[in-house]
A and B are shown apart, each in its own frame.
Chain A
Amino acid sequence: MEQMLNNLKEEALKAIAAASELGELENIRLACLGKKGQLTAVLRQMGSMPPQERPRLGQLANAVRDALEEALASRREELEAREQEARLAAERVDVTLPGRKPGRGAVHPIMRLRRQIEDIFLGMGYTIEEGPEIEADYYNFVALNIPKHHPARDMQDTFYVGADVLLRTHTSPVQVRAMEKARGKVPLKMICPGKVYRKDDDATHSPMFFQVEGLVIDRGISLADLKGTLLHFVREIFGPGQRIRLRPSFFPFTEPSVEVDILCTACAGAGCRVCKASGWLEILGAGMVHPRVLEMSGYDPGQVSGFAFGLGIDRVAMLKYGIHNIRHLYQNDLRVLKQFQGGLE
């Protein structure tokens, strides 16, 4: 019997080691250790053994069972691991194939910049104001110190809807509306981004374009404050190395008036074709709010002063992205728009 047990063990261990599938292993287990298995069959003969032999044989039988069980478990683990490996290998995908994207559009380049500009001024405590694009002559001109028949009306070729209704030529009328609403309260700090219209149409001028207007009114506001504010702004937009240059200018609604240049974005001031070798690019108009404008909108120029500036968002977009023809901004060619899918200003 001892011989049988040893033979059984030896053969079973061989079979276990040779098993290559989990099913096969289970069959071996049943064949050896199952109720109708070989070990059970051997143990059934225990009764015919001499009693003094039985404890030893019993121990031996248990040892064989333990050995087989252990061998089975370890082989099962091996086979399971191998099987999983094979399954996973079969599940391999080509990771270089394109993913299933939920689809991604793009914010229009002007709106990207508009958002950045808004964020810069929100960060400095400005509010954002809005106003109508079809506007009364009073708000677009008269309240900005440009009475009827003033030569300065020629500075902005205007689309008219009626005698006293027009397409706003700048976002400045929103200034006036905001000042009227504030009823003399200071500080007033606002920007107004939006569409404006002028009768111009060439590679760098579009009859519809975007401006952002800024206005600050408080006690003791100076031209130096305007300069610092604009310097902060252009550095946020064009990078920390930027500089600004103020040149005297004329706008009927500011006094003094200035034109603001930044270092040429193409050559950083060295002089190139873009800046006509000057190293500078004109980017916006600004100035100290004209006392008559303050007065007309309910502020006392003896008590408060303010600055205002107006910037073409299109111009900034063209400089920033290197777009040479303004048409690209309004033609809505998807080949253009899709280029603005990524990134953030």
Chain B
Amino acid sequence: MKVSYKWLAEILQVDLSPQEMAEKLTGAGFPVEELTPLAEELDGVVTAEILEVRPHPNADRLSLTRVSDGANVYDVVCGARNIAPGDKVPLAKVGAVLPGNFRIKKAKIRGQESMGMLCSAEELRLDLVQAEDGILQLPADCPPGLPLAEYLGLDDVVMDIELSANRGDLLSVRGLAAEISAALGQPFALPLPEAPAARGGRFPVSIATPACYCYTGRLISGVKVQPSPLWLQLRLLACGLRPVNNIVDVTNLVMLEWGQPLHAFDADKLPELEITVRQARAGETMVTLDNKERRLEPGMMLITYGDKPVAIAGVMGSLDSEVNESTRTVLLESAGFDPVSVRVTAKALGLASEAASRYEKGVDPAVIVPASHRAAALISQLAGGEIGELVSAGCHRSETWTVEASLAKINALLGTEIPRAEAERILINLGLEVQGEGDALLVKVDQRRSDLRLWQDIAEEVGRLHGLDNIPAALPRGVQTVGVRKPAQRLEWLVRDILVGCGLCETVPYTFISPEMQERSLAEPGVELANPLTRERSIMRGDMLPSLLETVAYNLAHGQHNIAVFEIGSVYRPVAGQELPEQPLRVAAALCGTAPVHWQRKEEEYDFFHIKGVAEQLLAGLGADASFVRAERRQFHPGRCAAVRCGEELLGYVGQVHPGIAEAWKIDVPVWVMDFDFQALVRAHREGVDFAEPSRYPAVRRDLALETDTDSEAGTFLAIIRQQGGPLLEAVECFDVYTGPNLGPGRRSLAFSLRFRHGQRTLTDEEVQALMDKIIARLEQAGARLRS
């Protein structure tokens, strides 16, 4: 909320600088985000009286004036029309600097000397409303020769305070003053305005909805609508509101002062002097003050005159009942509306008015009538007119309640030893009544502070004004607990460390993607947002691939040639009949471009066996016994994709992104990815190690060269070797793969190295040869031919 520093200082009658006041508010929990001077520096601009106005001899649109600042008389050329002798105006003397760094110099204008400039409100950067365009007219009783800033009180500061959602009472000068005062250690109360003398003007008011708990109205007849006096306009400006006219400005001023929203209707434009507050009916419409036609819905509350809607209760009035220069009779409304009703209506209409923002946080019912009194008196003072009697419906006495707090409980919650006297003083300074003795603090609260309901609320008030800095620092005592990561949490970090060890950088992309990204990636459908920020970020991904490709594409576009990345993150997939989507965690990685270069090696493009190597390293690190099986997936190159299984369970896939998808992403190099289900990895992981005593006996090594056709898979032969080799086969490795002219088309050679060893004795040649014969026999059955 924006509020005038001078207003607060005036009402509090304390000598605090704007900074000091801001510190008090910040300390009390309401940070002052900005202190902005109301006006720019206006050095050299003074109040002056016009003595004489003559036409400029050489220019029809200009006049020559003689102006006095009380000490000297100046000749000033002026282009405005709204000036006459006797007017009090701002004079920028030679040497003055106006906003925008505009320096006033002695000048000759069409042959006539000008010793300064008479200023308009715009030239002074003041957003004031005036009866006529042109030079800013100062009040007739303005003494000449005073610095303008001092005379108008332009040295005010706009304080922008961040308020909390539970303190509607602070949306007023009265509430803020009370808060600052309590922070200064003093109580504060603004006396409630008395009823002004009023006569006649009664009319029927009825409430036909539970969402209005009090409605008051009164007529003020014979008003003259015109711009407000400058002091009032400047005060509104210092609170961030724009002046309009004397009637509207008064309703705003009183709202700022008391926190009670007020509304003024042009009573002569109302169809009938009979007010009903009711819910809207389907199909009703109304044009609001901002000149927009609003479709009204039954959930919205209306003010109606003779059944015609003239305002959306607590949100905004209608355009056709607006107060303007022609208004003679004003109907002043001060009412209490249900916070939720106002909030829902304002949200539905997308209207955030000053009134609505107060109603939705709750206003103090005790102020509804006094605020009307205050506004009526001010209107009559500034616009003339006769004040009618207040008519009302539904207004009951405002509620009070007692919160039963205990000093011991408060101190236990805060971890303090605040004595009763201090706690009491704090609460009294907040304007609360305290009763009870010893440990019992019985705190009487009224609707001004409707946020105070529980003893914990009282504890907060005591703690906050005692000073949170005065609260000691301790640590929880009590039963000790053991903090350990759960197995899956430990594995997540293990996965992260393994992949980093494989040379991959961890990424954290946005989990929301665009429909296009989803489509381009042939991705599983994700979860659509109802109110996304942009279409680009409108779907919670159902698949890791769009994110991997986004990262790859971004880095390729930024000149990176060695891309090795991974992510551990969730995908989101709707599940029919379930409120929340499925949100499994995935482990995915991508390689693209060239592997890290080394001077001893040729530059190497990433290929299938790089990404498979990463996957194997990961699985080995997890102790998972996994196998790679040729697979076909729509997102992968048809000949370069493997499913990774552990027993029956599918862990994920590795392979090359389908070139069609890469092309759709405008990526013209192969992208190699792997994508695993994290929970499946957790299940595949083997805990601990089955230790085996190393054999003391020598190993026997045998090599095996097979010629096969290229459609056959090395995995088939490896499996046969392992199976036939049995427990004596310690290790087998494929150490060479060869295709070439001397093998003929469709043929290749695979070379394996086998190592046999017995745990308890030295193996004999005969034993090894027998095993080799068995292995070779089965390999030949499987279509391999032994090369000599």
Which residue numbers of A lie inside 8 Å of B, CB to CB? 97-98, 100-108, 110-111, 115, 118, 121-128, 132-136, 149-152, 154-155, 159-162, 164-165, 167, 186-187, 189, 195, 199, 201, 207-208, 216, 218-225, 227-229, 231-232, 245-250, 252, 255-259, 288, 290-291, 305, 329-335, 337-338
Does B511 lie within 8 Å of A133, measured CB to CB? Answer: yes
Least CB distance from B204 to A in Å reads 32
Does B474 lie within 8 Å of A330, measured CB to CB? Answer: no
Which residue numbers of B lie inside 8 Å of A, CB to CB? 26-29, 31, 164-167, 339-340, 343-344, 360-361, 412-416, 454, 456-457, 459-460, 463-464, 468-469, 471-486, 489, 493, 496-497, 499-512, 527-533, 537, 540, 551, 554-555, 558, 560, 563-566, 570, 572, 579-581, 583, 595-596, 598-600
Does A167 lie within 8 Å of B540, measured CB to CB? Answer: yes
Does A106 lie within 8 Å of B579, measured CB to CB? Answer: no
Q: For the A-B complex with A208-B510, A250-B167, A288-B456 known, give 16 more contacts whose Cβ atoms are closer than 8 Å.
A: A98-B598, A115-B493, A122-B483, A127-B484, A133-B540, A155-B165, A159-B530, A160-B531, A162-B530, A218-B479, A223-B463, A225-B474, A227-B472, A229-B475, A250-B29, A258-B468
The 6 closest A-B pairs by CB, nearest first: A224-B415, A103-B503, A248-B29, A222-B415, A250-B164, A256-B460
Does A255 lie within 8 Å of B554, measured CB to CB? Answer: no
Does B509 lie within 8 Å of A332, measured CB to CB? Answer: yes
Residue from the list A201, A248, A252 in contact with B28, Cβ < 8 A = A248
When distances are taken between beta carbons in the complex, the residues of chain A under 8 Å from B533 are 159, 199, 201, 207
Does B469 lie within 8 Å of A246, measured CB to CB? Answer: yes
Q: How far is the CA of A276 from the CA of B572 in the complex (A)?
A: 41
Does B506 lie within 8 Å of A105, measured CB to CB? Answer: yes
Closest to A153 in B: B165
Does B579 lie within 8 Å of A165, measured CB to CB? Answer: yes
When distances are taken between beta carbons in the complex, the residues of chain B under 8 Å from A162 are 530
Does A335 lie within 8 Å of B560, measured CB to CB? Answer: yes
Q: How far is the CA of A55 from the CA of B51 in the complex (A)?
A: 155
The DSSP consensus for interface residues of chain A is mixed
Does B415 lie within 8 Å of A223, measured CB to CB? Answer: yes
When distances are taken between beta carbons in the complex, the residues of chain A under 8 Å from B555 are 332-334
Least CB distance from A315 to B in Å reads 15
13 contacts between A and B (CB under 8 A): A103-B503, A108-B507, A111-B508, A164-B579, A199-B531, A199-B533, A207-B533, A222-B414, A222-B415, A227-B472, A259-B29, A334-B563, A337-B505
When distances are taken between beta carbons in the complex, the residues of chain A under 8 Å from B340 are 149
When distances are taken between beta carbons in the complex, the residues of chain A under 8 Å from B493 are 115
Closest to B29 in A: A248
The DSSP consensus for interface residues of chain B is loop
When distances are taken between beta carbons in the complex, the residues of chain B under 8 Å from A288 are 413, 456
Does B413 lie within 8 Å of A159, measured CB to CB? Answer: no
Does B506 lie within 8 Å of A106, measured CB to CB? Answer: yes
When distances are taken between beta carbons in the complex, the residues of chain B under 8 Å from A108 are 505-508
When distances are taken between beta carbons in the complex, the residues of chain A under 8 Å from B361 are 151
Does B583 lie within 8 Å of A98, measured CB to CB? Answer: no
Residue from the list B28, B360, B456, B504 in contact with A105, Cβ < 8 A = B504
Least CB distance from B430 to A in Å reads 13
Closest to B347 in A: A149
Q: Given that A97-B599, A291-B454 are contacting pairs, would A105 and B475 also be in contact in the complex, using a CB cutoff of 8 Å?
A: no
Residue from the list B343, B486, B531, B551 in contact with A332, Cβ < 8 A = B551
Least CB distance from A203 to B in Å reads 15
When distances are taken between beta carbons in the complex, the residues of chain B under 8 Å from A216 are 476
When distances are taken between beta carbons in the complex, the residues of chain B under 8 Å from A252 are 165-166
Does A332 lie within 8 Å of B29, measured CB to CB? Answer: no
Q: Given that A195-B511, A332-B508 are contacting pairs, would A225 and B475 also be in contact in the complex, using a CB cutoff of 8 Å?
A: yes
Q: Given that A160-B530, A224-B415 are contacting pairs, would A125 and B503 also be in contact in the complex, using a CB cutoff of 8 Å?
A: no
Closest to A314 in B: B508
Q: How far is the CA of A290 from the CA of B456 in the complex (A)?
A: 8
Q: How far is the CA of A3 from the CA of B166 in the complex (A)?
A: 124
Least CB distance from B607 to A in Å reads 15
Residue from the list B413, B415, B471, B554 in contact with A333, Cβ < 8 A = B554
Q: How far is the CA of A216 from the CA of B479 in the complex (A)?
A: 12
Least CB distance from B339 to A in Å reads 8
Q: How far is the CA of A108 from the CA of B485 in the complex (A)?
A: 20
Does A229 lie within 8 Å of B166, measured CB to CB? Answer: no
Does A331 lie within 8 Å of B463, measured CB to CB? Answer: no
Does A135 lie within 8 Å of B580, measured CB to CB? Answer: yes
Does A332 lie within 8 Å of B456, measured CB to CB? Answer: no
Residue from the list B166, B476, B527 in contact with A187, Cβ < 8 A = B476
When distances are taken between beta carbons in the complex, the residues of chain A under 8 Å from B532 are 159
Q: How far is the CA of A228 from the CA of B473 in the complex (A)?
A: 4
Most buried by A among B361, B473, B507, B512: B473
Q: How far is the CA of A335 from the CA of B557 in the complex (A)?
A: 13
Q: Given that A105-B564, A126-B483, A127-B483 are contacting pairs, would A228 and B475 also be in contact in the complex, using a CB cutoff of 8 Å?
A: yes
Does B565 lie within 8 Å of A332, measured CB to CB? Answer: yes
Closest to B509 in A: A332
Least CB distance from B414 to A in Å reads 5
Residue from the list B164, B459, B475 in contact with A232, Cβ < 8 A = B475
When distances are taken between beta carbons in the complex, the residues of chain B under 8 Å from A330 are 508-510
Does A125 lie within 8 Å of B481, measured CB to CB? Answer: yes
When distances are taken between beta carbons in the complex, the residues of chain B under 8 Å from A199 are 531, 533
When distances are taken between beta carbons in the complex, the residues of chain B under 8 Å from A228 are 472-475
Q: How far is the CA of A187 from the CA of B29 in the complex (A)?
A: 30
Least CB distance from A246 to B in Å reads 4
Q: How far is the CA of A218 from the CA of B533 in the complex (A)?
A: 41
Does B485 lie within 8 Å of A134, measured CB to CB? Answer: no
Q: Given that A250-B166, A255-B460, A334-B563 are contacting pairs, would A227 and B473 also be in contact in the complex, using a CB cutoff of 8 Å?
A: yes
Least CB distance from A173 to B in Å reads 11
Closest to A302 in B: B409
When distances are taken between beta carbons in the complex, the residues of chain B under 8 Å from A246 are 468-469, 471
Does A220 lie within 8 Å of B529, measured CB to CB? Answer: no
When distances are taken between beta carbons in the complex, the residues of chain B under 8 Å from A186 are 478-479
Q: Given that A123-B483, A222-B414 are contacting pairs, would A248 and B460 also be in contact in the complex, using a CB cutoff of 8 Å?
A: yes
Residue from the list A110, A164, A231, A247 in contact with B508, Cβ < 8 A = A110
Does B478 lie within 8 Å of A106, measured CB to CB? Answer: no
When distances are taken between beta carbons in the complex, the residues of chain A under 8 Å from B166 are 152, 250, 252
Q: Given that A187-B478, A247-B29 are contacting pairs, would A291 and B456 also be in contact in the complex, using a CB cutoff of 8 Å?
A: yes
When distances are taken between beta carbons in the complex, the residues of chain B under 8 Å from A134 are 527, 540, 572, 580-581, 583
When distances are taken between beta carbons in the complex, the residues of chain A under 8 Å from B483 are 121-127, 189
Closest to B479 in A: A187
Does B464 lie within 8 Å of A207, measured CB to CB? Answer: no
Does B530 lie within 8 Å of A161, measured CB to CB? Answer: yes
Q: How far is the CA of A258 from the CA of B164 in the complex (A)?
A: 12
Q: How far is the CA of A150 from the CA of B459 in the complex (A)?
A: 23
When distances are taken between beta carbons in the complex, the residues of chain A under 8 Å from B564 are 103, 105
Closest to B548 in A: A332
When distances are taken between beta carbons in the complex, the residues of chain A under 8 Å from B484 are 122, 127
Does A329 lie within 8 Å of B508, measured CB to CB? Answer: yes
Q: How far is the CA of A220 from the CA of B478 in the complex (A)?
A: 9
Q: How far is the CA of A275 from the CA of B91 in the complex (A)?
A: 41
Does A334 lie within 8 Å of B415, measured CB to CB? Answer: no
Q: How far is the CA of A227 from the CA of B476 in the complex (A)?
A: 10
Does A338 lie within 8 Å of B505, measured CB to CB? Answer: yes
Least CB distance from A302 to B in Å reads 10
Closest to B550 in A: A332
Q: How far is the CA of A211 from the CA of B618 in the complex (A)?
A: 28
Q: How far is the CA of A329 from the CA of B554 in the complex (A)?
A: 14
When distances are taken between beta carbons in the complex, the residues of chain B under 8 Å from A115 are 493
Does A257 lie within 8 Å of B474, measured CB to CB? Answer: no
Q: How far is the CA of A258 from the CA of B31 in the complex (A)?
A: 12
Q: How far is the CA of A331 from the CA of B508 in the complex (A)?
A: 8
When distances are taken between beta carbons in the complex, the residues of chain A under 8 Å from B563 are 334
Does A334 lie within 8 Å of B478, measured CB to CB? Answer: no
When distances are taken between beta carbons in the complex, the residues of chain A under 8 Å from B489 are 128
Q: How far is the CA of A130 from the CA of B555 in the complex (A)?
A: 31
Q: How far is the CA of A232 from the CA of B26 in the complex (A)?
A: 25
Does B476 lie within 8 Å of A218, measured CB to CB? Answer: yes
Most buried by B among A126, A224, A257, A333: A224
Least CB distance from B174 to A in Å reads 20
